[in-house]
Structures are given as structure tokens and as C-alpha cells.
Chains A and B, each alone.
Chain A
Amino acid sequence: MFGISDPGIWLVYLLSILCVAGSIVFGIKYWNKEDDKDNQD
């Protein structure tokens, strides 16, 4: 994958892409969502 044969290396590139993609999805989903726990205290 990505021109790299060692899974120890291509895996980290794949995980990094997934991490950024996940953070974007998380960011969009919770961008304007208030956390109920903020109002509990």
C-alpha cells in the first residue's frame, strides 16, 4: 500500500488518514452541539 511493503509503515499512514477523516466527521457533527454536562454544574 502507498508503495510501501512493510505493514508497520503503511499502517501508520492509513491510520493517520483515518484519524484526520474521523476528526473532520467529529468536528462537523459536534461543531454546534452543546454538551449537556456543561450545564449540570
Chain B
Amino acid sequence: MDNFVMYLIVMVYFLALAFLGYLGYKKTNDSKDFLIGGGEMNPIVMALSYGATFISASAIVGFGGVAATFGMGIQWLMFLNMFVGVVVAFIIFGRPTRRLGVKLKSSTFAQFLGSFYNSDKIRVFVAAVIFIFMPLYAAAVLRGGVFCMQEVFGIDFDLALLVFTIIVASYVIAGGMKGVMYTDALQAVIMFVCMAFILFGVYKALGMGFSEANQALEAMKDKVPEKLAAVGHQGWTAMPRWGSQQWYTLVTSFIMGVGIGCLAQPQLVVRFLTVSSTKKLNQGVVVGCVFLLVTVGVIYHVGALSNLYFFQNDGKISVAMVEATDKIIPYFIDRVMPSWFVTIFMLCILSASMSTLSAQFHTMAAAAGADIYGVFAGNDEAKRNKTTLMIRLGVLVSILISFIICFVLGEKSDSPIIAISTSLFMGICASSFLPAYFCALYWKKVTKQGAYASMWVGVVVTILLLLFIHAKEATALGVCKSLFGTDVLITDGMMRFIDPIMFAFPLSCITIVVVSLMTKNKAVDAK
């Protein structure tokens, strides 16, 4: 594609974002507008925003690469994204959350839990966990977007980081939740159209239909490298061998970890508070499901099929063509799709990064400005009037922290802290927030002591398991090695490959039940 046309497309995209950010700014008058879009957002915009926030660049490029390596088993993640992340989340969690949120006058996730349990301690704890652990996770997403911007404009890392941060910061600070959701909706449409094109392009390149391509890929199972076969790989159209290392990684980390972790992500939960009725959440279910099927489902499917394409054309499988998992999808798109589409695909990745990042910045800002400052301000009217300003300042601070982390890590650093922070945040959301959140909606005997104890258990157990048991993070961090002279404390069996969420989440659930029953005479404390 001509460079001029490419720059023109990207500029039009940025102008559209600026316009939508401005639209959000014009419609934002108070802190309720800034935090939950006044609670009057369009259901289709809400569902698209939910989907776009859900799907980051790493879901497309990273997990697409995982599909190319592990095969179609990763489609269980797509199914859980749809079934748990949309159907269960909207119907089982979203509807009571919205009703209770209105009753409790909540505008953030921390405020929701804090108000329900009638505890500022819980509100500050949730906000602090978000504000401490989310910047690292946001830095990971920011880095993905910056790499994409480098590819499009051919500029250096520091400049791309600065430009990318300023663009996202301006529409989050100015437009608040409305600006974030309007831009998310545009980005979701770009992602959806792009993935539909990719599906069409890949089948055209393969020259065969759905079942025929699957059969051809299945016939390639003897091409699985010995190294992968030894850890359980049985072909790209088969699940890994039951109980193998690869099975545990795929099922506990990728499928259960991310699949369950999504239910208590503060940046997703808060979207339920942005619509005015249950009817609008019901309307969002269909939009969310179709969006996830097309975006995530397509990229995982074509990720696995990339092996067939490369084998047909180069005589090699994907991991032999491109060693780095994260680079398989961009390389595959470059090979299969027309040259003009590569810019569009980059725009899609940029959209995925921006939509996730803007929601993260907004959530961190809400935690700092509305929750921590809100508790500090108490009933002081003068201080309360400054809430919107403090939230905007919170956006600035959270952006600055993520920017500094990303800048310090730099372009060439392959620091494991990014991957670790993502696992940590997902794990903590599921283990620390989910039991207290679910019980707030459905268990009348829950007490604030039970909720508070389960939150601490979730955080502490997740951190301990990441430091001393789960091989991927424990080895990278080296704390266990320096204290005990070994990478992980338990080396026998598959324990070191099982995601921390599988232990921390049940322990947190047991804690909330046991402590709540022990303190049942104080149940009146929870509303």
C-alpha cells in the first residue's frame, strides 16, 4: 500500500478517536457521567465496549500464537469467553449487579463492594489492589500497542510510547467513561470487520472449505515436533494428552485462569452499571456473543490453520517458520492477506490495545480518585465537589505510572514482569474479588468479615503460589531460588504447572463461607 494512503487511514482513525473523545467530554458534567456514563449508555455501545475491553492485543496476537502452537484446544477459551464472559456475566452477574448498583448508588467496583458490605476498609482494599497491581498489567498492554505503532509508522520505541500514551490519555481524561465507551465501540467494529476479512482471506489462500481444512490439518499430526509431543501435544485438531504438562498449562492457565478470571475484572463489571435497565443488558448478550465468536474464534481458528498453510507452501509448521509465538500471527497475516490489509490489521491490533488500555486507565483512576480519595473526603462537601477533578488527576497519575514502567522496561527488555503482572492481576481478580462479589449478589448470610478475610486469602495465596510454586513465574522471579536454592518448592508431579487460581480461588471461597458462618450474628453489617 502507498505510504500516503496508509498514513491517511491511520490519521482518519486518530481523528475519529479525537471526535468521539470530544463527544464524551461534551456529555460529561459530573462524576457519575465520568465514572459510569451517567448510567444511560446505549446497550449496543455497552456490549461492544465490553467486548473490546475484554479483547486486548495479546488475546489476538499472543493467544493466536498459542493456537498456532497448541492447536484448536484453545477454542475452549473462546467458548468460556462467550459463555462465562458474556452469558453468565451478563445474566447471572450483570443483572443483579446493575440493580444493586443503582440501589447502593455505586459508580465503581470498589464502591459497589464497599457499600454492600458497609465497609470503607473493603472499598479501600479493593481500590488499593487495583491501583497497585493494574499499572503493571496496563504497562503490558501499553507495550503491545507501542510495538504495533512502531510497525505502522516506523518510528522509535520512545516516540511511539509517547504518542500512543498521549492519544489514549487525552480521550480518557477528557471524555471519561463516555469517551472510553464511544471509542471502544468504534474499535470493536474495526476488530470485528478485520477478523471477518481474515477468515475469508485464509480460506481463500488455503483453497479449501471448513471441514476439508480441518481434515488436512488433522492429517498433519505426525508433523508435531518431538519436543512438543513429549509434553503432551497430539496434533492441532486434538486436545493435549490428559494429565500432561501441556494439558495442565492449557486447561488451568489459559482456559480456566482467563475464563474464570474475567468474571470479576473491575473494568468489565463497571460496564453493567452504565445501562439504565435489565432489558438493555439482555440486548447486550447477543452483541457480546457474536462479537467474541468472530474476533476471538476466528483468530484462534486461523492460528491453528497457519500450520496447514505454512506446510503447504514452505514445508514447515508455524513454530518452525517463526520461533517467537507472538510473531506467528503478524507473519501469517503478512503472508496470507493482501499487502493493503496489513495496515488494517495493525489498526485492529492498535484498536485492541487502546480499548483495553483506556478501560484500565479509567478503572485505576476511579480507584484512586473516586474510592481512595472518596473515603478520605468523607462527608466534607468541599472535598466531595472536587471528586471529578481528582478522578481526572487519577487518570494522569495512573497513566504516568504505566508510562514510566513501560519506558524503564524499554524496547529490547524481555522482562518476565509483564507476563507475571498479567497472571497476577487475573489471579487476584478471580481469587480475591470473585467470592466476595458473588456472595454479595447471591448469599444472604455473607458478612463483611468473611468478605474481607477471603479477599486477603485470595491475594496472599496467589502471590505465594506465584513466588514459590508455579514454575513459570517462580523461576522468572527467582525469589524461591534465592531463599531455598531451588526454582520451585514442589518439583514432583504436575503441581508446578497448575495455575495458582486453581488453589487460591477455592481457598478464598472456603474462607468466605467459614468466616461468614462464624460471624453470622454480624450479618446485618452486609446490606
Contact = CB atoms under 8 A, between A and B. Distances in A.
Contacts of A28: 286
A6 B277 contact: no
B73 A9 contact: yes
Nearest to B216: A3
B210 A30 contact: no
A21 to B, nearest CB: 9
B72 A9 contact: yes
Interface residues of B, number: 40
Contacts of A38: 99, 277-279
B239 interface: yes
Contacts of B213: 3
B277 A27 contact: no
Most chain A CB inside 10 Å of its own CB: which residue of B218, B285, B286, B297: B286
B214 interface: yes
Interface stretch (B79-87, B312-320, B338-346, B481-489): B79-87
Contacts of B3: none
Interface residues of A, number: 28
Contacts of A27: 282-283, 285-287
B103 interface: yes
Nearest to B102: A41
B237 interface: yes
Contacts of A15: 79, 83
B290 interface: yes
A38 B102 CA distance: 10
A13 B87 contact: no
Nearest to B238: A6
Nearest to A8: B239
Interface of B: 71-73, 75-76, 78-79, 82-83, 86-87, 91, 95, 99, 102-103, 210-215, 218, 234, 237-239, 277-279, 282-283, 285-290, 293, 297
**Shortest Cβ-Cβ A-B pairs, 10 listed:** A27-B286, A3-B211, A3-B214, A35-B278, A8-B239, A23-B289, A30-B282, A3-B215, A6-B238, A12-B75
